[in-house]
Structure 1
């Protein structure tokens, strides 16, 4: 996996894009010391905790967290600062990050002279994937994707679900009826082979963009142990529950890296323009 270096470089470009790190820090609450700062040490974690463990099937074989200064600072920061849930603010942050990611992807397409555009997908059927990438020359949609951002590790996940670690199992996904509806729509519309889940993952140790096909996610949901987090005041608005509390945690070592996403898109470009 020599191209992991390109993936880490792409992530560096993502966080420096547009208004850069300061712009991102200005919108994202509760930043940690290394937030959006993928330095050489982060590259080491990326290799040791992700690349070197890609494809491991037995979670018992995963490395334990290094328990170094980064780990200690992470625990001190996140266990000592637990803000109340505010879904309205989360939506505001999410919108900013979505725009940042879309614009970055479109710049990458322009740099490569690819006739692709990344844009919002169906805004009416809200359980459909968030975004789509369209070939502007053929009019065909080459990819749909759900977009998630994870900036806070689930430090206590190992106490809730056996053989999991904070760095490897913090890619949370709502595992309730929302996911079931999305699966039905994806299958009904015949787009399961070109629908993926993309994660912008920036915790104190591991940083990058990771993704997987929806079939993997749906299969994992069927066999994974779920965790129901404690309900909080922010989960309710006007007496109605608006927050999702039933979660699954996708394993980092089963995800694909950023460069593989571009490889996949390039392959589709070659096929559609033969």
Structure 2
């Protein structure tokens, strides 16, 4: 069995056994079933070397239950959340940030919270900063990616929801953070990490900041979603990029890097 899968199972177990430590006021149950394990293998591990993302219709032939998952669960994300409130998403993201930080600490990896324009977290080893990272929690697959993402770089064919959902807002914050990383933090690696918790594919995926910025330079602002309730009050950025999940590494490599 893949060490990535074993480590993610450890992360799931850690979260569910330490709910009060993470946040006693925010109730969550983290899931990873046999179905999700198969999805991780067939929708990530086994297709990373393909020249283009494999179409969901083909993946449905390889994963028992995936057709039903798309019909009953993934399809829910086609509908815009009219009553969207940014504060709830922020609270959810903070829960997963803390859960991941505590999990890393359980592995002997020291993590400190940092403030903007630094990346959100720094990793300490022997009293020195050895890495920075940002963690983004994503549970909503970008269902219409195959029609809305026109620039499919680094691919020559369509992008799909399962590998085109790990988003970054391309507003002023990311521009200023990039400037900070490239000018002041170039000697220390920075990683963008996504905790993907979709109905089908679940896992920890990450990309080096230099790869993220190279991708951004090649595609520009890929997508501007429609404005929705909550954007104005939260000053929410609507321009985004979608770094390719299949070009990312996963949890085993990240932990090895931090150690």
With the length of structure 2 as denominator, give the TM-score of the two structures: 0.84
User: After superposition, what is the alpha-carbon deviation per residue over 1:197-229, rounded to whole angstroms, capped at 9, x for unaligned?
Assistant: 011111011111011100000000111261000
Q: 1:153 is matched with which residue: 108, 132, 141?
A: 141
Paired with 1:18 and 1:36, the residues of 2 have a C-alpha distance of 7
Distance 1:17 1:101 in 2: 9
Asked if structure 2 preserves the Cα contact closer than 8 Å seen for 1:85 and 1:233, the reply is yes
Q: CA deviation at 1:27?
A: 3.8
SS at match of 2:124: strand
Mapped to 2, the partners of 1:131 and 1:88 lie a distance apart of 21
Cα offset for 1:43? 1.1
Structure 1: 5+ residue runs without aligned partners?
30-34, 110-115, 267-274
1:69-94 superposed Cα distances (whole Å, 9 cap, x missing partner): 11111234333573532122222222
Size of the aligned set, in residue pairs, is 242
**CA RMSD after TM alignment:** 2.5
SS in 1 for 2:4: helix
Q: Deviations over 1:20-70 (max 9, x none)?
A: 49779x8479xxxxx7321111111111110112244x43x5233526111
CA contact (8 A) 1:49 1:206 kept: yes
Distance of 2:41 and 2:16 partners within structure 1 = 28
Gaps of 5+ in 2: 61-65, 151-157
Which of 209, 219, 229 does residue 233 from structure 1 map onto?
A: 229
Match of 2:155 in 1: none
Contact 2:74–2:199, Cα closer than 8 Å, also in 1? no
2:35 to 38, 41, 52: 41
Matches within 5 A, 1:5-154: 5-20=2-17, 27=26, 36-56=30-50, 58-59=51-52, 61-65=53-57, 66=60, 68-79=67-78, 82=81, 84-109=83-108, 116-121=109-114, 123=115, 126-135=116-125, 138-154=126-142
Q: Secondary structure of the residue that 2:107 maps to in structure 1?
A: helix
